[in-house]
Amino acid sequence: MEITLTKMHGLGNDFLLADDRKGFVAANISYGELAAQVCDRHFGIGADGLILILPSTSCDLGFAIWNSDGSEAGMCGNGIRCFARYVYEKNILRQKIMTIETASGPVICLLENDGEDLVTGVRVDMGPPRLLPEEIPFICPADKTIEVPLKVLDQAFQVTPVSMGNPHAVIFLDKIEGIPLEVWGPLVEKHPAFPEKTNVEFVEVLSKEKMRVRVWERGAGVTLACGTGACAVLVAGVLTGRSGRRAEILLPGGSLAVEWDERSGHVYKRGPAEWVFETRMKIKAGHCGFLR
Ligand SMILES: N[C@H](CCC[C@H](N)C(=O)O)C(=O)O
């Protein structure tokens, strides 16, 4: 059985996309196993995650995201923009406004085009942030859920947990240049206060309208950008009085414009989605091999 894998990225957060609306992939290999194999940067193609285009009975299409370690996630902000461009330009869903079913609820994508009808950007209604400890989930060691003290090694971090359909631990620091991200990241990711683990964002506030972020992603490690993470940072910035409701989030791979709309309570972000390349591969009984 052969499938097409398409590589795309959003600000360097890279994904492999596969159209499995007919269920042929799932019939031959679990999505988690496929993700772990094809996302491997040495033995596979290499990516931060695997995205599936799936059917939906409640929305225009279904979306699923699996991290490179084979774990499933509830949402992916950079990945949903790649998904929207993929299904539009491949004529799977030729709509500029699309409602996508995700594991954490429906998400609305608005595509921006140039004169050639190529997608130049995608604005996403990410829905409302989830802030209750049980929604994140977060086992709150204090009687507050903002700037909660969390001990990691010799550090006493102040964590603001936010879910955008997936958990985020937002930590504001005076400086983020040179922090041991690959040491602190996994320790926070796997901290017992986060029973489903968490994505981790270290943030340096540059102004009320601009914040710089470095990310350790659950199930993927250091990434160049995290869309849901950028939204969680904006929400935490508002909750802690560090930012306005609209800000530019600067990530190593580029910047995202994020807004937490007061009237609707929804978080909106807009950013790019880029094609990289496409390949065919064979799948047989739980293993995938590339066509020679
Ligand atoms: N690692 C994340 C999923 C990918 C999210 C990220 N790539 C984004 O753009 O939001 C998690 O396990 O929740």
Which residues lie across from 269 on neighbouring strands? 124, 258
> Which amino acid does the sequence have at 34?
L
271 C-beta closer than 6 A to ligand 1: no
Q: Helix or strand or coil: residue 62?
A: strand
- Summarised one tens digit per residue, pLDDT across range 48-75 is 999 999 999 999 999 999 999 999 999 9
67 is in an annotated binding site: yes
pLDDT in tens, the chain (292 residues): 889 999 999 999 999 999 999 999 999 999 999 999 999 999 999 999 999 999 999 999 999 999 999 999 999 999 999 999 999 999 999 999 999 999 999 999 999 988 777 888 999 999 999 999 999 999 987 778 999 999 999 999 999 999 999 999 999 999 999 999 999 999 999 999 999 999 999 999 999 999 999 999 999 999 999 999 999 999 999 999 999 999 999 999 999 999 999 999 999 999 999 999 999 988 876 666 654 3
227 C-beta closer than 6 A to ligand 1: yes
Would you state the pLDDT for residue 124?
A: 98
ipTM above 0.90, yes or no: yes
Would you state the pLDDT for residue 116?
A: 75
Would you state the pLDDT for residue 92?
A: 98
To 10 degrees, what angle do helices 77-89 and 227-239 make?
Answer: 140
Q: pTM of the prediction?
A: 0.96
Would you state the pLDDT for residue 25?
A: 94
163-199 burial string, b = 16+ CB within 10 Å, else e?
bbbbbbbbbbeeebeebebeebbbbbbebebbeebbb
- Summarised one tens digit per residue, pLDDT across range 185-198 is 999 999 999 999 99
Would you state the pLDDT for residue 291?
A: 45
Which protein residue's CA is at the shortest distance from atom 4 of ligand 1? 76
Exposed, middle or buried by CB within 10 Å (0-12, 13-18, 19+), for 117? exposed
Work out which ligand 1 atom sits closest to the CA atom of 197. 12
Beta strands 267-271 and 119-125: pairing type?
Answer: antiparallel
Would you state the pLDDT for residue 292?
A: 39
Catalytic: 226? yes
Query: How close is the Cα of 138 to the center of ligand 1, in Å?
Result: 17
44 C-beta closer than 6 A to ligand 1: no
Work out which ligand 1 atom sits closest to the CA atom of 48. 7
What structural domains does the chain harbor?
2-127+273-290 (3.10.310.10), 148-265 (3.10.310.10)
251 C-beta closer than 6 A to ligand 1: no
Q: What is the DSSP string of 30-78?
A: -HHHHHHHHT-TTTS---SEEEEEE--SSSSEEEEEEETTS-EES--HH
Most ligand 1 atoms within 8 A of CB, residue of 76, 188, 190, 214 to mutate = 76
